[in-house]
Copies of this chain bind each other. A is one copy, B any other.
Amino acid sequence: MHQLKKPYLLYLGDAQDPVNAKTAFGLRDWCRSDVLGEWSLPTAMVSVGVPRLSPSAAAAQGAGSLVIGIASVGGALPMQWLSDIEAAIHAGLDIVSGMHTRLTSFPSLVRAAQQYDVQLVDVRHSDIPFACATGRKRTGKRVATVGTDCALGKKYTALALTRALRAHGANATFRATGQTGIMIAGEGIAIDAVVADFVAGAAEQLTPDNAPDHWDVIEGQGSLFHPAYAGVTLGLLHGSQADAFVLCHDPSRKFIDGFPDFPIPDLPDAIRQYVQAGRVTNSAIRCVGLSVNSSSMTDAEWHRYAQQVSRELGLSVGDPLRGGINEIAQALLATSTT
């Protein structure tokens, strides 16, 4: 399991477009108290609005890691970022990256990290060995976010649900399974990078025994209806032994994103299939709400849609970015017995 050193200095490289700085904005929005500041090249055009700090100044304030908060074209590490990264290493910061290209593939970074005794952490990769799943029932409670497709709000929903549960006085922990989530949480497992045999086992390790009234809120990955990633989704759901799940959905999508031959099932069928799949490791699994990415709708359309779907499914419906998902958190707590 990845364990990151907080607080963070966010690195924005030579970012020209805020769209490419989604990771940095996500860290600012979801773990602001862990972000000391940001740093970038003089050519950068993007700021996330936190104090500008050089790596050495951040280190002097107690920073633990420089986090690369920007996606590069093609996922490679641009050579012009290297001097800033090396400066951060010299200042004693760990370097955290979610890029495809591993930090450890740069001999100069590896040498510097050894010399200054810091870690190069590639959160997209997962070289740690995991055990196979045991299926043993664990103490504590677990809720998973699952989706009708990829990339429609499962991480955001899990983060918002964790906040809403805490606001209701519940004991809840966000459990990260993807790179940005791991950076936000400061720990987690890039579940899609685990060797297939150990996915469910890694999910078990991510959500260990806990207090009876504690909720793990597990960031979902992929979708049961995705032709490439459904196996990851299923292994994660099984290892999570989820007591409940929130289905995440974007009504504007009729087909799996990028796979026009693969339709998204209707919502009752999607819920039924997730319940059936989850029952393998938790016979009591239930759907407690629908989290909608309603960005394609006007306010009027959204209200009409939410009311209609809530009535049809008999479930709380919310959009974490439009009114929040507090009702889903309430529904989860109301239907739970300790």
Please, how many angstroms separate the alpha-carbon atoms of A261 and B235 in the complex? 18
Contact with B along A222-237 (1 / 0, CB 8 A): 0011111111111110
Q: Which residues of B have CB within 8 Å of A229? A: 132, 197, 200
Q: Does A199 contact B (CB under 8 A)?
A: yes
A238 & B234 in contact (Cβ 8 Å cutoff): no
Q: Is the CB of A231 within 8 A of B228?
A: no
7 A-B pairs, CB-CB below 8 angstroms?
A: A133-B228, A134-B227, A135-B261, A200-B229, A200-B231, A230-B238, A231-B234
Q: Mark the stretch among A86-94, A187-195, A297-305, A307-315 that contacts chain B.
A: A187-195
Tally of A interface residues using CB under 8 Å: 37
The answer for the CA separation of A273 and B277 in the assembled complex, in Å, is 9
CB distance from A132 to the nearest CB of B (A): 5
Chain A 152-178: CB-based contact to B (< 8 A → 1; otherwise 0): 000000000000000000000000000
- A196 contacts partner chain B, Cβ-Cβ < 8 Å: yes
Are B235 and A232 in contact, with the CB atoms below 8 A?
yes
In the bound complex, CA of A148 to CA of B262 (Å) = 27
Closest to A277 in B: B230
Closest 10 CB pairs of A and B: A231-B235, A135-B227, A133-B228, A192-B197, A231-B231, A231-B234, A196-B232, A196-B196, A132-B228, A196-B199
Contacts A197-B193, A235-B232: A262 and B227 contacting too (C-beta < 8 A)?
no
- CB-CB < 8 A to A194: which residues of B? 195-196
Binary CB contact string for chain A from 129 to 150 against chain B (1 if under 8 A, 0 otherwise): 0001111010000000000000
Whose C-beta in chain B lies nearest to the C-beta of A126?
Answer: B195
Q: How far is the CB of A174 from chain B (nearest CB, A)?
A: 21
| A201 CB within 8 Å of chain B | yes
Chain B residues with CB under 8 Å of A196's CB are 191-196, 199, 231-232, 235
Asked if A232 and B230 sit within 8 Å, CB to CB, the answer is: no
Chain B contacts for A224, CB-based, 8 A:
280
A276 interfacial by beta-carbon distance below 8 Å: yes
Chain B residues whose CB sits within 8 angstroms of the CB of A192 once the complex forms: 195-197
Which chain B positions have C-beta within 8 A of A197? 192-193, 228-229, 232
Q: Does A281 contact B (CB under 8 A)?
A: yes
Flag if A234 contacts B227 (CB, 8 Å). no
Which residues of the partner chain B approach A238 to less than 8 Å between Cβ atoms? 227-228, 230-231
